[in-house]
Amino acid sequence: MSAQPRRVENLHTDKGKVPVYATGIIEQPWDDYSADDHATWAQLYARQRELLVGRASDEFLIAQDAMGMTPDRIPKFDDINRVLGEATGWTLIGVEGLLPELDFFDHLANRRFPVTWWIRKPEQIDYIEEPDLFHDLFGHVPLLMNPVFAEYMQAYGKGGVKAHGIGPEALQNLTRLYWYTVEFGLIQQPDGLRIYGSGIVSSKGESIYCLESDASNRIGFDLERIMRTRYRIDTYQKTYFVIDSFEQLIRATEPDFTPIYARLAQQPSIPAGDVLPGDVVLNRGTGEGWATDGDV
Ligand code: PHE
Ligand code: CO
């Protein structure tokens, strides 16, 4: 038996069954991980680390190595925290799963990153619908070692607390920014297009797909365009947004978003796969193989 999450209940929403977890911070129950759990980590780690050479951004790969993660066993949060604290002042906290938005933003605003403590089961190696330890730790935590990205994540948390106070539409705009940068962002490196989004680096299929497939769009970063763009949670992305550098991300998100939220409230959202006049198109997707509905 592997260590399992303590799910509190299932909430039935218009998106289907959503698992609800305890919101408290919990100590990583490291001794409870089974040999299977460590083997799942080892298998995923080795596979992704190899795949990501030449695909993930240099910043990601350098940070990941500097953090001292290895495939040997599931890392201890305490060990990571010593290195991370030294580098950028971020701390990992253990959680059961997704947190209420305001709790999540408040943690980020204080440089605390919530990491799901449990890891997927062997039969979920290639696909899991909700974030687990592998996604959070392998995917999100390395870039917290990078001072510029560390800054962006904290600023995002502060912006989240603010957007939460403004209303659900502002929150939706900001959530799209997180989705298309932190989770599914691409970056233009001198030697080619690379991945930095956590949702991509923790997925074998999408790590290949996002760079090589002709089906999806790859478009230059544009803050307001992103904030208007819907996204898919159940398939590979139809559109990826490409930044030039993490500095660009900081610069573009520095201004007060309040007037932007007000302006966007007057405009329709953009379907996930659309290309607009004015988009800087690196690759215009053929859209082949895609369902046409289900945008969220
Ligand atoms: N500047 C944004 C605001 O005023 C805050 C923010 C920073 C949001 C970085 C996202 C990322 O709301
Ligand atoms: Co994530």
Domain count, the chain: 1
Q: Which of 59, 107, 135, 164 is catalytic?
A: 135
Burial class (CB in 10 A: 0-12, 13-18, 19+), 174: buried
- Is 164 catalytic? The answer is no
Taking the centre of ligand 1 as the mean of its atom positions, its distance from the CA of residue 79, in whole angstroms, is: 31
Two tokens, residue 58: 């240099």
Least confident of 6-15, 77-86, 112-121, 130-139: 6-15
Which is higher by pLDDT, 293 or 220?
220
What φ, ψ does residue 92 adopt, rounded to 5°?
A: -85, 140
Q: How confident is the model at residue 9 (pLDDT cuts 50, 70, 90)?
A: low
Atom of ligand 1 minimally distant from the CA of 158: 5
Residue 159 lies in a domain: yes
Question: Mean pLDDT across the chain, nearest whole number?
Answer: 92
- Give me the pLDDT at residue 24, please: 81
CATH classification of the domain holding 37:
1.10.800.10
- Give me the pLDDT at residue 8, please: 59
Least confident of 122-131, 179-188, 198-207, 243-252: 122-131
pLDDT tens per residue, range 148-190? 999 999 999 999 999 999 999 999 999 999 999 999 999 999 9
Residue 69 lies in a domain: yes
For 133-140, what is the mean pLDDT? 98
- Report the alpha-carbon distance of residue 144 to residue 152 in Å, rounded: 9
Residue 3 lies in a domain: no
- Report the alpha-carbon distance of residue 116 to residue 55 in Å, rounded: 25
Q: How confident is the model at residue 296 (pLDDT cuts 50, 70, 90)?
A: very low
Q: Which of 59, 96, 183, 206 is catalytic?
A: 183
Asked if residue 14 has pLDDT above 60, the reply is no
Taking the centre of ligand 2 as the mean of its atom positions, its distance from the CA of residue 103, in whole angstroms, is: 15
Q: Which of 57, 59, 107, 202 is catalytic?
A: 202
Instruction: Please report, for residues 5, 6, 232, 279, the alpha-carbon distance to residue 15 in angstroms, rounded to integers and kept in the order given.
Output: 22, 22, 12, 30
> Which of 173, 226, 253 for mutating ligand 1's site (highest number of atoms within 8 Å of CB)?
253
pLDDT tens per residue, range 69-112? 999 999 999 999 999 999 999 999 999 888 999 999 999 999 99
Give me the helix-helix angle, 147-166 and 168-178, nearest 10°: 160
Asked if residue 282 has pLDDT above 50, the reply is yes
- Give me the pLDDT at residue 19, please: 55
Closest ligand relative to 155 C-alpha? 1
Residue 197 lies in a domain: yes
Which is higher by pLDDT, 287 or 35?
35
Q: How confident is the model at residue 114 (pLDDT cuts 50, 70, 90)?
A: very high
Q: How confident is the model at residue 292 (pLDDT cuts 50, 70, 90)?
A: very low
Residue 238 lies in a domain: yes
**Residue 118 structural domain:** 11-293
Residue 1 lies in a domain: no
**What is the SS3 assignment for 184?**
coil
Atom of ligand 1 minimally distant from the CA of 152: 9
Residue 76 lies in a domain: yes
